[in-house]
Amino acid sequence: MSFLVKTEIFEKYTQLILEGALDSATAPQFSEEVRKIIPQKPQVLVLNVEKLDFMSSAGLRVLIFAKQKLGTTAMLFLVKPQEQLVETLKMTGLIFSVNIVDTYSE
Amino acid sequence: MKPQFQFQIFKAVPDSLEPMRNFISAFGSVQSIDKNKIYKLCLAVDEIAANIINYGYPLAGINDGTIKVLIEYSDKKLTIVLEDYAIPFNPLKQILPTQEDLDKPIEDKPIGGLGLLIARQSVDDFNYEFTDGNNRNIFVVDID
């Protein structure tokens, strides 16, 4: 299964499409992708996680890092997270810091 | 008869995390255990195993460590034991993020301790033993 991440930069938002399993082995790939987009300071970061089957705290730490670097005004959207991921976000209180949506458009 | 007990030894490297989860999922699938319960168990095991791999063995100066994963299903309980010989580390003695920490906005949220919090909250019972030079992290999930 492993992990794939793809970045799409649009005029008003940046989208990362995540697929597979985000754990301690694969989080560095996600982190690297996030570090690439931080200098552009996107104010809307959309993470399409529909095909993300697993996420541990290693992935959550990258999410927190991204939001901390992008600043308080930046919005973080999660597109179609699987039920188990939503449970992890609830458990860690992160659910209140992200916007969960079925689709994202400008 | 379906196997009620299995074990497998994995190298203590990040690339073992996925095979470890697959090993647990395959066992759960054979025993027809609810997928959501298996996911949470995999998550808990993954968090502790990642700590052993990223901190336990490196701090012990061991670069070829292993993690033994034992699974047992009996009396409506699914038990997993992770055995390693890295530095002694009792997850139950660590300070977890408080509710106040978790309620903080993401900008002020402490990054540490989330993994242990997830590990302990994702199973019905979590225990730790240190015996014969081995850490034993024990995860129990109740099966209805």
What does the domain layout of chain B look like in residue ranges? 5-142
Q: What is the pLDDT of residues A67-80, one digit of tens each?
A: 999 988 999 999 99
What is the three-class DSSP state of B19? Answer: helix
Amino acid B99: pLDDT: 86
Q: Where are the beta strands (DSSP E) in chain A?
A: 3-9, 14-22, 44-55, 75-79, 99-101
Amino acid B112: pLDDT: 77
pLDDT band at B105 (very low <50, low <70, confident <90, very high): confident
Q: What is the pLDDT of residues B48-88, one digit of tens each?
A: 999 999 999 999 999 999 999 999 999 899 999 999 999 99
- Lookup result for tokens 């999922």: B25
Q: Is B24 exposed, middle or buried (CB count within 10 Å of its CB: 0-12, 13-18, 19+)?
A: buried
Q: Tokens standing for B95?
A: 């300070």
User: Domain locations in chain A?
Assistant: 3-101
pLDDT band at A1 (very low <50, low <70, confident <90, very high): low
β-bridge partners, A32: none
Contact A47, A76 (CB under 8 A): yes
β-bridge partners, B84: B135
Nearest to A23 by CA among A51, A59, A64: A59
- Fold of the B5-142 domain: Heat Shock Protein 90 (3.30.565)
**pLDDT reading at B127 higher than 60:** yes
Measured between alpha carbons, how far is A49 from A34 in angstroms, rounded to an integer?
15
Percent of chain B residues topping a pLDDT of 70: 98
Q: Which residue of A has its CA nearest to B105?
A: A97
Model ipTM over 0.90: yes
Amino acid B125: pLDDT: 97
β-bridge partners, A55: A22
Amino acid A105: pLDDT: 81
Q: What is the pLDDT of residues A53-99, one digit of tens each?
A: 999 999 999 999 999 999 889 999 999 999 999 999 999 999 988 99
Amino acid A28: pLDDT: 96
Q: B50, A94: Cβ pair inside 8 Å?
A: no
Binding-site residues on chain B for chain A (CB distance < 8 A): 14-15, 17-18, 21, 36, 39-40, 42-43, 46-47, 50, 53-54, 97, 101-107, 109, 111, 114-115, 117-118, 121-122
Rounded-to-5 percentages of helix, strand, coil across chain A = 40, 35, 25
Put simply, whether the predicted model's pTM sits higher than 0.90 gets the answer yes
**For the structural domain made of A3-101, what CATH number should be given?**
3.30.750.24
Alpha carbon B129 to chain centroid distance?
Answer: 13
- CB nearest to B106's CB, from A56, A67, A84: A67
Q: A84, B39: Cβ pair inside 8 Å?
A: yes
Q: Which residue of A has its CA nearest to B117?
A: A92
Nearest to B86 by CA among B111, B68, B72: B68
